[in-house]
A and B are shown apart, each in its own frame.
Chain A
Amino acid sequence: MKKHTSTEAILLLEDGTVFRGKSLGEIGITGGELCFNTGMTGYQEIFTDPSYYGQIVITTVSHVGNYGVQHKEVESEQVQIKGLICKEFSQHFSRNTAEGSLQGYFEAAGIVGICEVDTRALVRHIRDKGAMNAVISSETTDLEELRKKLAEVPSMVGLELSSQVSTAITYELKPDEVKFRVAVLDLGIKKNIINNLVSRGCEVKIFPYNTPYEVMEEWNPDGYFVSNGPGDPAASTDAVRSVQQMLEKNKPMFGICLGHQVLAEANGIATYKMHNGHRGLNHPVKNLITGRCEVTSQNHGFVVDGDQLLNHPQVEVTHINLNDNTIEGIRMKGKPAFSVQYHPESSPGPHDSGYLFDDFITLLEQNK
């Protein structure tokens, strides 16, 4: 075994705080909004989740990279995160089916990161101070230069990012036996959502983020799915307009994460940026309809305003977060549309919420 040598790296936060560590991935400079994920497994899925576009992820788990990478476990075709901050970055990996190391994967994708950072101190810092931008550099430690770079990183509020991660062209996927046709509005979709629809007999056509409703309707779908994705939901105006039209036409509609926020916006319910988002695989959600609880996979920095849902004439709350009582799921009264803030497709994360896809299938059946 050769002793691994990596260069010094530095992390500069918007509020001026500096952390030092070692480089990982590509040598360079990167910037984005800081967020932390408390999941203990599934790093490759996280790093390739388009909802993380524009963000620097802090993984709180002690070791990252232990089981290498393999193409089968990506959520999109690229690494979506802007950078990684972790404690221990494994140079050695062990899994028979692995295709390579995380280090190699990052180098190929040009991802810059920093390890051997006191990630717990960093998480406590942003837990108290709130989400903020940061830059990581393994190229220069000149703080003046890094401050300039940091100033160039855009603020997440009001930022539309689906255009950066959505598919550019429409494409279709078909199960062996087609039961329904579902039009998918791709705001930054994860692969496993598509898998969940296709495996339940849905022929899906995936449309770019700004596809007008009429264009999707031409394909004559039985229902619509509005995906997850990065950015401020308030900036997803095209998607909001399309969803409003779906609702007008009483089309079955299911939204996840950003798709959920878009459904709320389409009903005039605002979203706001949370002090710190929910990112991890252990978030407790209660289904108010069944009384059952589910451990969920989450990744969101914005949330639907619960106050505006009190006694709302058209929309009711179906799921809440047991830790902070924030809104986790809504459905329309008298219309076949519902959505959740979290990720029932998991990947990574627990499979407790897969039933929501079944619920969507039931809606499609009832409205065929």
Chain B
Amino acid sequence: MPKDTSIKSVLIIGSGPIIIGQACEFDYSGSQAARSLREEGIEVTLINSNPATIMTDPVTADNVYLKPLEKKYIIEILEKHKIDAVLPTMGGQTALNLAIDCEKAGIWKKYGVRMIGVDIKAIETTEDREAFRLKMLELGINVCKGETATSFLEGKEIAQEIGFPLVIRPSFTLGGYGGGFVNTPEEFDAALTRGLHASPTHEVLVEQSIMGWKEYELELLRDNVGNVIIICSIENFDPMGVHTGDSITVAPAMTLPDTVYQKMRDLAIKMMNGIGQFAGGCNVQFSVNPADDKIIAIEINPRVSRSSALASKATGYPIAKIASKLAIGYNLDELKNAITKTTSAYFEPALDYVIVKIPRWNFDKFPGADRKLGLQMKSVGEVMGIGRTFQEALQKACQSLEIKRNGIGADGKEKTNYDELIYSLKNPSWNRLFSIKDAMRIGIPTSTIQNLTKIDPWFLAQIEELDVMEKEIEKYNLATIPAELLREAKVKGYADRQIAHLLRCKESEVHSVRTELGIKRVYKMVDTCAAEFEASTPYYYSTFDGENESIVSDRKKVVVLGSGPNRIGQGIEFDYSCVHGVLAAKECGYETIMINCNPETVSTDFDIADKLYFEPVFWEHIYDIILHEKPEGVIVQLGGQTALKLAEKLERYGIKIMGTSYKALDLAEDRGSFSALLRDLDIPYPPFAVIETAEEALELSKELRFPLLVRPSYVLGGQNMKIVINEKELEAHVIDLLKDHPGNKVLLDHFLDNAIEAEADAICDGEDVHICGIMEHIEPAGIHSGDSYAVLPPFDLSENVLNQIEEYTKRIAVALQTVGVINIQFAIKNEVVYIIEANPRASRTFPFIAKAYREPYINYATKIMLGAKKVKDFTFNPYKHGYAIKVPVFSYNKFPEVNKELGPEMKSTGEAIYFIDDLQDDYFTQVYSERNLYLSK
């Protein structure tokens, strides 16, 4: 069937603020869907309360509603626009739930809106564990033994029947919230109660445990006539027992024979067809018993998911884009493969490389949190490494994580304590992968590791090969190492830094020796078809192999550094900025080159930048791309602290940084010189000191006076920041910090008790400054700006204070010779404005202001960075109406053990925007009245 021409206007529902289990992958799918529909001449209306998204940008949709995802706002939209159809499959569980609510309330029917891309009955079958189980039994598909309990007593009875170990899975919860394994009858009662409470319907599935079995996922697409294709097979490195969102995953499946894979494929198709007829994407999870290849169906998600985003990036097949076209009536055979542009969209991608996804956790932000991985997802982001082989992809994924490692192993951070390693192998957490390698290094037999982890022996053998090679390399030094061995290390994904560590020399020395030996990175294309057909899509990854496919053009180029994995303090906001940076640079005539390794993002979509290098935002990879492409310069202001941190090295290697100079970036980050600058500019700042020992700290605390804000220099998201009120606390925290950051300096600031906090975002060309917006925090100083409610414009600052803020912002921006963006944070006490810090980069709040004022600030700032425009070239016409509130959103329900108090260390995972007309608004008054509720001392 060709396109359904009766659909002229579509509503897409977004996924709201980022929370654990629902991250920026839905910005990726939502924006791809919007672009795909607009290509067809369809008017797209979008609702999402998350301002930091590309999907809510005027570049993506015709009508954008930055409103809470609630029924009343859907009605508001339907009253205003003639909407023909709603597409609820691009915004995760949140969008689906809202669509179901509206369906139940008869809203869609009332306004004559069709629901496309999904089948309500299918959702109900898949979300309700018992309905799913019965459906599978009806289809003749094996599932775990289990039954649903709606009461405590029922649960006990079922458990008695099935026996232990078993699993408790609450119905209708996100990311496995409230679920868990129960190994003994003693643990059962508490777990059952927790599960029942977690479920909004007071329902849990009590199920046979298949812990340790192999785990797989398939990503499917189906059209209206029932054609189904499998886009990608994904194998979990971590066997059953760890939530897939928390599992290291590999594509294509590595250890599946064709017989088992095809059986799984048949089952997946049968399941998708069995749950309902709809055109769109679907994700199916299976478990395979390693003893006899028996397959059990785990779950099916009839929508675009986190795994579909990964599968899209892993294969190059744009799942959300095609799923949207299917939803409006196209059949798969009527569409073209977006990568080759000549072959059919109806096919199954063939990979000639391997991808490894590793989740990124942030347990350090949640003191007291249970760090053990299980059924409930706990990671906040993820990275993907692409390599020609599993080993290379694994190393590259580890290099992408930004956890101060240079890859897996060979960086001097290996653990050597036997008991500690055995514990880590038995109790999966963020570090199990590293522990496996370390365990091999100290001689723990692979068979023991296999017994403890149940990880497939093939994966373990791959890691063991790395260990064997490392031990071989260590026998040499840089002068004596055979070229073949050096090449082998590079082929296996080792960073120059890792090799340098093994050979006891410098990274740069390894780089020059290997370059002399001709051991150079080449770039291969992700083309969906293993080179069978010609493809022109500029999506590349690096490897050490023969032929290079990334041909360098003679256009002027600029590199935009991405922000790497999402984590608390650095999330989707920076991807928003990167995407806008790329688009603005394109407008200025540049060939744009994007480097990033986060598969959930829009910036890593192959049709955003002119060239996408899906590579770790890790020095060696960036440097090699720069050597290959020879860009005019690099933009570091948009990709958060990840990109900014690389400025120093770029400067050292003589690579041009576009916009604000390295010297100014460094000056702003260096507290000592920055304060000197403030003193010269006659701008107040809280008394502070830089110390290197606890003794110094105690000494200086007398001058500075308590309370004191204690933190390491160079941090984002308030990492390890703490307010201390006496000498004992000060000493303890300083010692802690120096232990974690040896050789680093610690900053002590006098903390302005009960001050009001405010911040300003501005763009500057070195001479003129435009202040985009000033935000006032509702909570008093002491809570990290990312965790505060912020109001734009300020709601109760005096004119005198506002004048000081404006004046200081301008003075600082010009003094730092800012060319691009700057964010400045203030504390206000007794009508005096103090500077807390200045961030010479895109901030978390830039997208928020851009959305509220409807001005493309990052676009302007990028043009200024590139020298194409000056501030005075733009006419600013911000849309000012009422107030916009930035609402922080937390994922505490994933960490029930964690204290909810807020402090200088950021804990929120996402944010929403909420507009109010005036200060009498109920929402505002409530938030305002509770402003001290979660404040830590």
Contact = CB atoms under 8 A, between A and B. Distances in A.
A280 B532 CA distance: 10
B534 interface: yes
Of B343, B464, B472, B530, most A-chain CB atoms within 10 Å: B530
A269 to B, nearest CB: 25
Contacts of B529: 38
A291 B333 CA distance: 10
B468 A3 contact: yes
A276 B529 CA distance: 14
A95 interface: yes
Contact of B332 (A3, A66, A293, A351): A293
B532 A66 contact: no
B533 A323 contact: yes
B909 to A, nearest CB: 35
Nearest to B254: A66
A284 B352 contact: no
Contact of B458 (A73, A90, A283): A90
A240 B531 CA distance: 35
Interface string B336-350: 000000111011111
Contact of B343 (A67, A281, A323): A323
A62 B348 contact: no
Interface stretch (A113-121, A155-163, A257-265): A113-121
Contacts of B759: none
B545 A120 contact: yes
B292 interface: yes
A216 to B, nearest CB: 32
Interface string A83-95: 0000110101111
B539 to A, nearest CB: 14
A10 to B, nearest CB: 14
Given A36-B532, A92-B461, A282-B349, A73 B259 contact: yes
Nearest to B522: A118
Contact of A41 (B258, B347, B389): B258
Contacts of B533: 127, 323
Interface in B217-257: 225-227, 229-230, 233, 252-257
B350 A282 contact: yes
Interface residues of A, number: 54
Contacts of B259: 73
A169 interface: no
A322 B465 CA distance: 42
A45 B258 contact: yes
A44 B529 CA distance: 21
Given A60-B352, A60-B531, A97 B227 contact: no
A349 B256 CA distance: 13
B352 A61 contact: yes
Contacts of A61: 252, 350-352, 530
Contact of B255 (A94, A291, A292, A322): A94
A39 B226 CA distance: 24
Given A60-B350, A92-B458, A120-B524, A349 B332 contact: no
Nearest to B464: A1
B257 A96 contact: no
Contacts of A93: 458
A40 B531 contact: no
A368 interface: no
Interface residues of B, number: 61
A306 interface: no
B347 A283 contact: yes
Interface string B642-666: 0000000000000000000000000
Nearest to A324: B343
Contact of A124 (B226, B233, B531): B531
Contacts of B261: 41-42
A130 to B, nearest CB: 14
Nearest to A73: B259
Contacts of B332: 293
Task: Tell me what chain B mostly uses at the interface: helix, strand, loop, or mixed.
Answer: loop
Interface in A322-366: 322-324, 346-351
Of A1, A36, A351, most B-chain CB atoms within 10 Å: A1
A286 interface: yes
A295 B388 CA distance: 26
A92 B457 contact: yes
B519 to A, nearest CB: 14
B468 A127 contact: no
A154 to B, nearest CB: 26
A124 B388 contact: no
A286 B545 CA distance: 37
Contacts of B545: 118, 120-121
A96 B352 CA distance: 26
B353 A41 contact: no
Contacts of B388: 62, 87-88
Nearest to A282: B348
Given A61-B252, A351-B266, A295 B348 contact: yes
A350 B389 contact: no
Contact of B256 (A41, A291, A350): A41
Interface in B445-463: 446, 456-458, 461-462
B390 interface: yes
Nearest to A293: B227
A288 to B, nearest CB: 11
B333 A96 contact: no
Interface in A218-245: none
Contacts of A71: none
Of A73, A90, A93, A94, most B-chain CB atoms within 10 Å: A94
Nearest to A116: B491
A30 to B, nearest CB: 22
B226 A292 contact: yes
B113 interface: no
Interface string A246-288: 0000000000000000000000000000001000111110100
Contacts of B586: none
A67 B469 CA distance: 23
Contact of A63 (B225, B254, B265): B254
B902 to A, nearest CB: 47
B291 A96 contact: yes
Contacts of A124: 531, 547, 549
Given A63-B390, A95-B255, A123 B532 contact: yes
A61 B256 CA distance: 13
B350 A66 contact: no
A349 B258 contact: yes
Given A94-B461, A120-B530, A42 B257 contact: yes
Closest 10 CB pairs of A and B: A42-B258, A118-B546, A121-B547, A322-B344, A348-B258, A92-B461, A60-B530, A94-B458, A38-B350, A41-B258
14 contacts: A1-B468, A40-B350, A62-B390, A67-B458, A92-B458, A120-B547, A124-B547, A276-B532, A280-B532, A282-B349, A295-B347, A323-B347, A346-B262, A349-B258
